[in-house]
Structure 1
């Protein structure tokens, strides 16, 4: 089959032949005039035949391409109809949560035409008081080959909040970076919503409970009769090694519990890492007496367990450079906020914090972060928050 490049090469060869004939004509018109015209006509005839064949092949390929495009368009329309007719709300967003596609069911659920949903951030349809928890969940969606499922409250345009079951998975490129996210949203029937409200609605957990506020750097008291539940901000959990060095045990975000009853370490400390941290206290007796509350906390504790396993795997890396790389990826997923320049860590971590997490010295971390900054892989904003470049 011939293509445009081959066709261009054939034209180039013909031009060369004509140029040679022209030069031969100028050089030999006086010597061999009787052979010049027959040779030229023969060359031109051959070139004309080759061009005719090439043109016919291009016409044939053009017809085949037109048929293929028509078939592809028919298939696209068919899948678009299937997409629009799905009974559940289906959305496709980019890695930052901006809606790229939405079907009719999504438009009905969010009370907005699908065409108007495009380029809007999905978080705009989450109630204001629950957006912090949603961001925390969203930052965990970039884990490779992991389908996430949870129940969330949605705020349709000019409508009342609804409870919905959300299923999300990510699609990645060859460099293991998320290209887009696929969301299936199913509105829960009314009779199911009260049953799931306790496990999914933070307001139900915090209702009629006093919230305790702590500023950045403050030590949060731990008692065996209380389990703290984060409602705002991030808390750092750490212990001490035999040499007196701090060891990072976890970063606790919204809706995640922590407390002294959840560890057997003799030294265990919780420190407010955000500018403002708000906590709700759940008594151990209340948790034991309420199966639904226990089930809710079990789901959140499983997230803590996964994070702890990741930190343990990081500490097992031989090279400090590897530990720092994997720690940055973990922090990006756990406490990162997507923005234009990359993913900004929602809390400011010191070089000593990185050193404690990587089981190394602050000097080593400073040197490695400097190298990453020179390579353009990280940067710092005006408030010294670290930004991991994509």
Structure 2
């Protein structure tokens, strides 16, 4: 029964009770003081019900109006989503597509109905899927908006360079419930930007700077080279015993990336708060100016890697430590009144991994060097090299 019909029947009931009350009041055989109290109560209650129904009817009309406004607003946002010039996707936390707009379907050369229920990773080349999986895992634990550079495969078409901007949406308990994706084809943009790059400052200023905190793991994408705008990044691998081996340090002005190594296991960890700029490998290939700018930095990393190899080849641990401290002095040293201060704090574990030895051994050798006055430490536990 709808509310209008219920109101009509309530009004009929009220009228019948009123008529019955009036009839009973004028009957000569019944004295007024003998009028049953039930009629008075019925009349009073029916009036209350009538008033309540009138108020309920008014509230219902207001709710209908509000619902219409909300539906119009929802439709407006749906139209904005549907007809936006860029591709938009909504996925669950695992990357399964739940919604897609017209531009996203056109980018991937499929219908919208085909996209729903499909993993986004299906449109990524096999060699880049591990990178996307690691990013999905990262997004489930982070609220930071990410910009990812990947190749996307069109269905029955070619692949293209894409920039994916993704944000995480959480429920009241803080659990990631879905991801919002902005998809853009940046192949033409990269070509036009490559032609405009003139020097190092140009490509830094025109790109998004990503920040990572100390000890945070930096994601590695085979299609991207990271340029260190500020800070120091530790590059390492793991041997068969599970021990970490330091492979290099990328300080300010240096570059690194998984495309610059053949190691299957390779990780990058911020040794300080760092600011990084991503450079697409495909962009480097088509830009002579960018090639000219980055070649000295890649050569610098190559020389540093050879130095680390030379250190690991030393027979005595004392010699490895000696040459490592020399390298650190050169790479991250800062002149102070007491000598040369390493502006990054290295743990004994970090030094041990670079010298291919144990932390206990490094602790013992560092203690000897401190006793000999070769090294000291400042208030923040940074190493100061004196006579090295």
Instruction: Provide the TM-score with structure 2 as the length reference.
Output: 0.48
Instruction: Provide the TM-score with structure 1 as the length reference.
Output: 0.48
Please tell me whether Structure 1 or Structure 2 has the larger radius of gyration of its CA atoms.
2
